[in-house]
Amino acid sequence: MIRVLGCFGSIAARCHTTSFLLDDDILIDAGSGVGELRLDELARIDHILITHSHLDHVLSIPLLADTVIKLRMGGGGLSALRPIHVHALPETLAALRDHIFNGVIWPDFTRLPSAQHPVLVFHEFKVGEALRFPARGGLGDRLVHVLPAAHTVPAVGFGIETPQGWWVFTGDTGPNPALWQALQGKRIAQLVIETAFGNEEAHLADISGHLSPQTLARELAQLDGEVSVFITHPKPGEVPAVLSQVRALDSRHRIEPLREGLRFHAPAEE
């Protein structure tokens, strides 16, 4: 199961920034949507996969770490602490170390509560890598592919293999030929793709590494077959205008807005 916790480019009432929960133990990005989880749900998170270093995608990592330390000890003391594993590009992890877990913005939870037993452990990945995560209860592994993105900072998307096909999340990206090359020959069940700006702000989309409806149309034209497409990352105040322009596209694909609380099927349910 993939649950949408947040899918907006900024915040407002009932609008949270990007985050998805795969089954009950893997976060894909850690925006403000993570705050919708109960304490017991937060304590079950074992892995966080990060697309890039921008605040709207990482802001819940430091708060989550602080929240779950005692819960993840389970009454067994410091040596029983189960760390949360954070997976990202080397440049993204460096940004987290330098600009968040630096003792100024937030304590360094890669060394707390102790250097031997930290609550956060960082792991580097690279584009093209396939990450394998065993599922709880013997339900089979989850396979997550690291896909290329084209943004203003080093960034990736993710593709998750499911029996129905791949669930693909582009992450924040502008026009991205490398993504479509990576997906050639893959059966895509759902595509979650950003469209952060309306056409009237296409110049802002271009310089900030995002899509507008007119560039979205060119991206979708590179998809084989018919795909269920979900639009993510508009700012709350701009949703009606962006969606109106997206719905006006002449596309063979079914396109609809991503909604918080929406659930997609994923391997561990099979």
Q: DSSP letters along 123-186, please?
A: EE--TT-EEEEEPGGG--EEEEEEEE---SSS-EEEEEEETTEEEEE--S-SS-HHHHHHHTT-
The token pair at 230 is 């979900």
What three-state secondary structure class fits 3?
Answer: strand
Which neighbouring-strand residues pair with 84? 120
pLDDT for 197-231, tens place per residue? 999 999 999 999 999 999 999 999 988 888 999 99
Report CA dihedral (158, 164, 165, 169) to the nearest 10 degrees: -30
Domain positions in the chain are 2-269
pLDDT for 25-83, tens place per residue? 999 999 999 999 999 999 999 999 999 999 999 999 999 999 999 999 988 889 889 99
In CATH, what class is 2-269?
Answer: alpha beta
**240: Cβ contacts below 8 Å, ≥ 6 apart:** none
Q: pTM here?
A: 0.95
User: What gap in Å lies between CA 62 and CA 223, rounded to an integer?
Assistant: 37
